[in-house]
Amino acid sequence: PDMALVQGDTTTVLMASLACFYRQIPVGHVEAGLRTGNMYSPFPEEANRRLAAPIMSVHFPPTSLSAENLLHEHMAQDTVHVTGNTVIDALFLELEQQEKPAIKADIDHQLSEYLPAGWRDQKYVLVTGHRRENFGGGFEQICEALAHLATKFPDHRFIYPVHLNPNVQGPVYDKLRGLDNIHLIPPQGYRSFVSLMADARLILTDSGGVQEEAPSLGKPVLVMRDTTERPEGVDAGTVKLVGANSVNIIAEATTLLSDQQAYNAMAEAKNPYGDGQASQRIVQVLQQYFDLARSAA
C-alpha cells in the first residue's frame, strides 16, 4: 500500500506500525499523542503509543494538547495535524441512525433480554470497568462503592455490562449479584452501548473512549483511574478522576446524583474532543501528503 493507517494504542497498532516500517511503508496514526506520563498506566497502551510514535509519517492528534505532546517528543511539526477524534464522528453518525424507529426498536429488543420492563423510564447509572491496573484491590473498591450507591439511591438503576475477563467477573459477581437495582449484563455491541450512554444520567468508567464519547452526549463522567491520557476533559469540567477508590467514587457520585447544580456544571461543559469532522480533516491531510509525494517523484 501507499500508506497504512492505524488508530489508537493497542498492541496491534504497535505491531502493524513496526511491520510497515520494516517494509518502508508510511504509516499515519489516528488518535496520536495521548500520554499519561506513566509507562505502566494504562498498561500496555502508554508504552505502545510512545514506541510507535517515531515510526509514524503522519500524526493525527485529536487535540492541541496531544499535538504538544508529540512536538515535545521531537516529532516534526509538519507531520502533526490536529483533527479531533474520529470516535466523535462515529458517535454522531450512530446517533443519527438511532433516530430511526426500526433501529431504536431493535436496540430495545436486544436490551430487553437483560433488563426489566420499563427500565428506560427510571434513572440509571451506566458502569464499565476493565483496566488491568484495577485488577484485584481496585475492582474490590469499585464494587464496594457500587453496592453502597445502589443502597443509597434505590430510585436509580445501575447497569453494568461486565467485561469477560475473569479478573473483572470474579469480584463483580461476588459483590454485586443479587442487588435488586444493579443489573449485571453481558458486554454490549457498539449500537446498544451508545444507546445506553445516551440515556444514562451518570457514567462511571475506567475506559478511555468513553471519556470522549460521554461528554458529547452531555453526560458527566467519573473516571475510576488515577491517571488519564485525556486531561482535556478534566480541564473542561466534563470528567473527574476519582481513582479506584470507594470513598472518592461514593462522594463524587452522591454529589452528582443529588445536587442538580453540580450535575449541570459537568453535563453542560464544552466537549473538547471534536465536532464530528475529524475524518474529513484526515482525508484532506492525506490528499496533501500524496500530492507532495507525487510532485517530489
Q: Which of 9, 144, 212, 232 is catalytic?
A: 9
Element housing 124 (H / E)? strand 124-127
CA atoms of 167 and 132, how far apart (whole Å) = 9
Check 50, 120, 132, 191 and give the catalytic one. 132
Give Cα 79 to chain centroid, integer Å. 25
Residue 227 exposed, middle or buried by CB count within 10 Å (0-12, 13-18, 19+): middle
The catalytic residue among 120, 148, 163, 191 is 163
Cell numbers of 5, please? 493507517
Calpha distance 297→293 (Å, rounded):
6
Can 45 be counted among the known catalytic residues? yes
Long-range contacts of 43-51 (CB under 8 A, 24+ apart): 43/132, 43/133, 44/11, 45/9, 45/10, 45/208, 45/229, 46/9, 46/229, 48/9, 48/10, 48/11, 48/13, 48/14, 49/9, 49/13, 49/14, 51/14
Among the options 29, 35, 45, 232, which is catalytic?
45
Contact in structure between 238 and 49 (CB atoms under 8 Å) = no
Determine the Cα–Cα distance for residues 179 and 50; give it in Å rounded to an integer. 42
Beta bridge partners of 58: 28
- As a whole number of angstroms, the distance between CA 146 and CA 249 comes to 8
Write the DSSP symbol of residue 5: E
Q: Which of 35, 81, 130, 201 is catalytic?
A: 130
How far apart, in whole angstroms, are the C-alpha atoms of residue 185 and residue 163?
9
163 is catalytic: yes
- The residue written with cell numbers 478511555 in the block is 208
Catalytic residue among 29, 31, 157, 230: 31
Known catalytic membership, residue 130: yes
* Active site members: 9, 31, 45, 130, 132, 163
